[in-house]
Structure 1
Amino acid sequence: MTSRLAAFWSRSPTWRKIATVAGVSFLIVATWIGQGVASVFGQHDAYAEYWEARSEEPGDLLYVALGDSAAQGVGATDPEDGYVGQIVRHVEQATDMTVRIVNLSVTGARTADVLETQLPQLRSVVQESGEPDLITLDVGGNDATNTPAAVFEEQFDELLCELPAGTLVADLPDFQGGPRLEESRRLSAIAREVITEHPDLVPVALEAATRPITMLDYSPDFFHPDDSGYEYWASAYIEQLPEALGGDGAEPASAVFDAEAAEDGES
């Protein structure tokens, strides 16, 4: 500190010193958050390119992922540390077989986008490579506050009607707070009702599984999970994997979502 600055500081009243320190601290925190948000945003294209290249790698089993940025793993330190990558590791360890992953998810995707783009791509994969051994879907988070509930219900039901039997389908994650919280919970309840109407699909209680997540489990953008946050996501899907893929065997929607409703009543 220069002598002139030191003299100014020594003559400054306490309130000015406190305000100065607070201002500097705010700038440091704001800069850190801004850099964090920018780093996560930069993952969008990088992770999409990663999964496109990864789909060319062969495997004993075929896994197709549908969904939004969560299926891309945005927020994790590496694409493979998102919930899709964690599912792959679990299946490979449990079966001692390699997994070819075709990740068709797109950051920002809504239910309509999965219907219009990802579903036709899934059909192409089936035609070229045969029926997948595993398909997972997460969607709806971007519909919250953007898609009217009635429209979401119609589109979600249409999507589920087109999915192959055995597809693992989740309700919405718990948003913890923020502007999407109320609407996301409304859409999540709708999703559970629709999933229950499709007994050939496998329900995943994602909202209940992600409820314990804390701010320490989020990436620097405070929206997407980080590696530990995605562990909660992965566990929800892994619980419903068939025994042949290292799971306990899928439970019907009535059992999965009834248990979730009971937890809601206790909380």
Structure 2
Amino acid sequence: MGVKRSIGYGLAGSSILGVGVAAKRLFALDRQRGAYRRAWESHSLATLKWLSDLDGQGGTTGALEDRDEENAGAKDEENAHAQRPFVYVALGDSSVQGIGASSVEESYPARLASAIETAKGQKVALINISLSGATSESVEMGQIPLMRGLGLLDPGSEPDLVTLTIGGNDVMVPQITPSAYSLAIARILDALKGRVLVSTIPSFAPMSQDARAQDMSELLAEEARAHGAGLVDIRALSQSWSLASYAFHYHAADMFHPNTQAYAAWAQEFYNVLAKDAGLRPLDVASAPQWGIGSHRVAESEA
């Protein structure tokens, strides 16, 4: 009887410890929302200042003396092209913020930016204006107007790349019908110019909402093709993993957001589509250096 009682206490203790660890991870994940948002805001402000400073310098580090006017103009143009960063704007929801990753530097936009910089040998100016909890309506009513206000939709000032990942929250809001989602995506893509990559909605299996995710992903894909946007099939990627692997190896503690491993796979999918579209060399995104976020607020988490 004493042995059985000891075993029972041991199992109970292990169970309590497991619950405690899970609760700690969930709390850390919840704290990410504010920490990651502030980190990206700080980074994006620093990036915008950097771009503004480059504009003020004409994209150069200063003119050389004793040059005739014609040679000076040619040299300035050459320097401006060499020093001009690749401007990348990330739109979307908490998955674009990197919620669930160990740090904002492990988010898929940060990993993708590092891969682009490695492949092109050109600095990347990443402006992440995504929002945790965003739906397609949030992008249309908040993020697109913000781009417009920053001059990122002005003719001749469009980013070199825009990525859009939106729909996970739309799936969870019954009031947002698939047709309303499709129309919002169409209006968003109407507003964007230049190279745009749009990702499908990951699998929600085994949840009942997976049927909505499938319908919305198909509609999103139709709009992407109609607007000439590149399609990154994150849904197919998530369905390529076994259900057990998807649930326990590619999700954060809340079993909703992707984790660091998942975001690494997402970044590779984005890069593969971009490389094919833009003629970049094949690259293992994991081999690229960790992204150096331009912020003193580098948020991290154990989630």
Q: TM-score range by the shorter chain?
A: 0.7 to 0.9
CA–CA distance in 2 between the matches of 1:216 and 1:238? 22
* RMSD value, Cα: 2.3
Q: CA deviation at 1:236?
A: 1.6
What is the correspondence of 1:59-208 to structure 2 with a 5 Å cutoff?
60-125=85-150, 126=152, 130-146=157-173, 147-198=176-227, 200-208=228-236
**Secondary structure in 2 matching 1:136:** strand
Number of equivalent positions? 236
Change in Cα spacing, 1:53 to 1:233, as seen in structure 2 (3 Å) is same
Residue 259 (structure 2) aligns with? 226
Residue 269 (structure 2) aligns with? 236
CA–CA distance in 1 between the matches of 2:124 and 2:222? 32
Structure with more contact order per residue of length (Cα contacts < 8 Å, sep ≥ 6): 2
222-231 or 188-197, larger mean C-alpha shift:
188-197
**Secondary structure in 2 matching 1:241:** helix
Residue 58 (structure 2) aligns with? none
Q: CA deviation at 1:24?
A: 2.8
What one-letter code is carried by the residue in structure 2 that aligns with 1:209?
L
CA–CA distance in 2 between the matches of 1:218 and 1:242? 27
TM-score, normalization: structure 1?
0.80
Q: CA deviation at 1:247?
A: 5.7
> What percentage of residue pairs aligned between the two structures are identical?
27
CA–CA distance in 1 between the matches of 2:185 and 2:268? 23
Q: Which runs of 5+ in 2 are unaligned?
A: 52-84, 283-303
Deviations 1:158-202 (A, max 9, x none): 22222213211111112343353232222212212222222x222
Change in Cα spacing, 1:100 to 1:245, as seen in structure 2 (3 Å) is farther
Residue 40 (structure 2) aligns with? 51
CA–CA distance in 1 between the matches of 2:8 and 2:217? 44
